[in-house]
A and B are shown apart, each in its own frame.
Chain A
Amino acid sequence: MTRVWLLALGAFAIMASAMSLLVFIPQAMFASVEAAEALPRYTQRQARGRELYIANGCVYCHSQQVRDPAFTTDVDRGWGTRATVPADYVYDKPHLLGTMRTGPDLINVGQRLPSVEWHLLHLYDPRAVNEWSTMPRFTWFFEERDEGQLIPGEKPITLPPGRAPKGKIVVPTEDGYAIVDYLISLNRTYPVSDTNRVMKTIGGRGDHGGK
C-alpha cells in the first residue's frame, strides 16, 4: 500500500502548495485592500442589476478590466483613464473580469455612456444602435404593450423608425431599470494615487508587461 499512500500524499501536497501560493497567500495579502472613498457600495437596485448581468451571461462577451497602458492599448481605445486595480473590485462578489471581448469592456461604461435611454434601447434592440452588433436582444427586460395602454408613471423607450413592433409601445420592467442602473454605476475612472503603489501593498507591481 505504500506506493498508493506515497502517490496520494504527493498529489495532495503538490496541489495544496499550489493553492497556498496562488490562493491562500494572496488572500492574506488582499485582506488589506480597501475600496477607495470614491467607490460606493452597490445600491440594492444596482445589486439586482448585477445579479441579472450574471444570470444572463453578459460576462461571456464583455470584460471588466482595463490593462496597463504601458502593456497594451485599452486606455488609448477609451475604455478607461487608468489600469484597474484590486481596490476597484472590492465589492464585486464574485468578480466579473471576463475573458472575451466579443463586445467592449464595460468597467467604465457608466462614464462612457451615462444615458439610461441609450442602454435601454441597446438592450432591447442592439442593432438599432449599432448595426454591426452581434449582441443578443434582451426583450425580457421589457414589456410590449398596445399603444394607449401606458400606465401613468411609465416611460416607453423611443425606437428608431421601422424598429418598433407594429402598433405597440415598449416599456422597461423593474429588471430593465435595475440592470441599466448597474451598468451606469460601472465607473472606475476616479484617480488612484499610484496604481503601482496600490499593488505594492499587496506584494507586487501592477501587471503591465513584465520587467
Chain B
Amino acid sequence: MIPSSIPIILMTALFTAGAAFVLAWVWRRGFLRDFDAQSRSIFDERDFRVVRPWEGPVDQLEREMRFGTPVAPRPGEWGDADPACTGAVPPSSRHHDDAPAPSTPRRRPA
C-alpha cells in the first residue's frame, strides 16, 4: 500500500494546512468577530416579541422584559390553520400588526 498512501498522506496534510490557513486568515479579517450575533440576523424585533402559545407564563414574561410589548401572532404564523391555536392572547385584544396582510374576519364554522 505504500505507493498509494503517500499521495493520500500528502494531500491530507496539504488540505489540513490549507484549511487552517484559511481559518486563521478569516479570523484576522474579523469575519468571526461577534459570531454569535450572526445567529440573530434572521430575527427582527417582532419575531422576538410574538406571543408563542407553547411558552409558559414565565417564558412569556421573560420575553416581555427583554424585548418589549408582546405582539399577537398572525393567522398562519406557525404554518398552522386553526385560529384557536394561535395564541394565549384573548381574541378581543388581538390585532393585525402587519397592515398590508389583508385582515380576515375570524372564521367560524357555519
Task: Report the Cα distance A55→B29, complex, angstroms.
Answer: 55
Does A21 sit within 8 A of B, measured CB to CB?
yes
Cβ-neighbour of B31 out of A3, A21, A204 (below 8 A)? A3
Interface size on B, residues (CB 8 A): 11
Tell yes or no: A1 within 8 A of B by CB: no
- Size class of A's contact patch? 10 to 19
Shortest distance from the beta carbon of A154 to any chain B beta carbon, whole Å: 55
B11 at the interface (CB under 8 A from A): yes
Are A17 and B4 closer than 8 Å at their CB atoms? Answer: no
User: Which A residues are closer than 8 A to B by beta carbons?
Assistant: 2-3, 6, 10, 17, 21, 25, 203-205, 211
Q: How far is the CA of A211 from the CA of B2 in the complex (A)?
A: 13
Name the A residues within 8 Å of B4 (CB-CB): 203-204
- B7 — which chain A residues lie within 8 A by C-beta? 25
* Cβ–Cβ < 8 Å partners of B22 in chain A: 6, 10
Is the C-beta of B67 less than 8 angstroms from some C-beta in chain A? no
**Closest residue to A2 on the B side, CB-wise?**
B29
Using a CB–CB distance below 8 Å, which chain B residues touch chain A? 1, 3-4, 7-8, 11, 15, 22, 26, 29, 31
Residues of chain B contacted by A203 (CB below 8 angstroms): 3-4
Beta-carbon contact of A17 and B1 below 8 Å: no
Chain B residues positioned under 8 Å from A211 (CB to CB): 1
Q: How many A-B residue pairs have CB under 8 A?
A: 16
Residues of B within 8 A of A204 (CB): 1, 4
| 16 A-B pairs whose Cβ atoms sit less than 8 Å apart in the complex | A2-B29, A3-B31, A6-B22, A6-B26, A10-B22, A17-B11, A17-B15, A21-B8, A21-B11, A25-B7, A203-B3, A203-B4, A204-B1, A204-B4, A205-B1, A211-B1
Select from chain A the residue with minimum beta-carbon distance to B12.
A21
Beyond the given A6-B26, A17-B11, A204-B4, please list 9 additional residue pairs across the A-B interface where CB-CB is below 8 A.
Answer: A6-B22, A10-B22, A17-B15, A21-B11, A25-B7, A203-B3, A203-B4, A204-B1, A211-B1
Which B residues are in CB contact (< 8 Å) with A25? 7
> CB-CB < 8 A to B11: which residues of A?
17, 21
- Nearest to B3 among chain A residues (CB) is A203
CB closest chain-B residue, reference A20: B11
- Interchain CA distance A3-B11 in the complex, whole Å: 26
